[in-house]
A and B are shown apart, each in its own frame.
Chain A
Amino acid sequence: MSDIAIPAGGQAHAHASPHSRHLQHHFHNSAQQFEASKIGMWLFLVTEILLFSGLFLAYFMLQTRHPQAFIEAHHHLDRSLGVLNTLVLLVSSFTMVMAVQSAALNRIKATLIYLYATFGLGGVFLFVKYIEYSHKFHDGLLLGNLFSYKGANVPGEYLFFSMYFVMTGIHGIHIIVGMGVIAYLIWRTHQRVFSSAYYTPIDLTGLYWHLVDLIWIFLFPLLYLVS
Chain B
Amino acid sequence: MAEVLMQRTPAALHEPEGNFLTENPGLKNWLFTVDHKRIGLMYFWTIMTMFFVGGVLALVLRTELLTPKTTIVSAEVYNQLFTLHGVIMTFLVLVPVIPATLGNFVLPMMLGAKDVAFPRLNLLSYYLYVFGALLAVGAIIGGGLDTGWTFYTPYSSTISGGVSIMTMGAFVLGFSSILTGVNFIATIHKLRAPGLSWYNMPLFIWGMYATAVIQVLATPVIGITMVLLLMERLFQVGIFDASLGGDPVLFQHFFWFYSHPVVYIMILPGMACISEVIPTFSHKPIFGYKAIAWSSVGIAVVSFFVWGHHMFVSGQSEFAGAIFSFLTFVVAIPSGVKVFNWLATMYRGSISLGAPMLYAISFLLLFGIGGLTGLFLGTVAVDVHLHDTYFIVAHFHYVMMGGTLIAFFAGLHYWWPKMYGRMYNELWAAIGCLFVFLGFNGTFIPQFLLGSRGMPRRYYNYLDQFQFLHVASTIGSYLLGVGLVIMAVTLIVPLFRKRYDAPNNPWGAASLEWTVSSPPPTHNFHHVPVVTHGPYDFKAARRLEQMESHS
Chain A residues in the interface with B (C-beta under 8 A): 1-4, 6, 10-12, 24-28, 32, 35-37, 39-40, 43-44, 46-48, 50-55, 57-58, 61-62, 65-66, 143-146, 155-156, 158-159, 162-163, 166, 170
Contacts and interface: CB of A to CB of B under 8 A. Distances in A.
Contacts of A36: 117-118, 186-187, 189-191
A48 B224 contact: no
B158 interface: no
Contact of A39 (B185, B220, B232): B185
A32 B220 CA distance: 28
Contacts of B114: 25-26
A42 to B, nearest CB: 9
Contacts of A44: 182
B238 A158 contact: yes
B239 A62 contact: yes
A51 to B, nearest CB: 4
A54 B235 contact: no
B225 interface: yes
A66 to B, nearest CB: 6
A170 B224 CA distance: 10
Contact of A66 (B115, B191, B224, B245): B245
B231 to A, nearest CB: 6
Among B185, B191, B220, chain A packs the most CB atoms within 10 A around the CB of B220
Interface stretch (B88-96, B246-254, B263-271, B321-329): B246-254
Contacts of B528: 6, 10-11, 28
The prevalent SS among residues of A at the interface is: helix
Interface string B192-236: 111111100000000000000000111111011101100110111
Given A2-B197, A170-B227, A162 B247 contact: no
12 contacts: A6-B528, A24-B119, A25-B523, A26-B119, A26-B191, A44-B182, A47-B217, A50-B217, A52-B224, A61-B239, A144-B238, A166-B237
Q: How large is the interface on B (under 10, 10 to 19, 20 to 34, 35 or more residues)?
A: 35 or more
A197 to B, nearest CB: 19
B399 interface: no
B69 interface: no
Given A46-B216, A143-B237, 4 more contacts: A32-B190, A159-B246, A166-B231, A170-B227
B113 interface: yes
- 5 nearest interchain CB pairs? A144-B235, A54-B224, A162-B237, A26-B114, A50-B220
Nearest to B190: A36
Contacts of A57: 250, 254
A159 B245 contact: yes
Nearest to A58: B239
Contacts of B486: none
B453 interface: no
B153 to A, nearest CB: 12
A166 B191 contact: no
A40 B117 contact: yes
A205 B119 CA distance: 20
A55 B226 CA distance: 12
B247 A61 contact: yes
A104 to B, nearest CB: 21
B491 interface: no
A37 B182 CA distance: 10
A200 B46 CA distance: 34
A26 B115 CA distance: 6
B542 interface: no
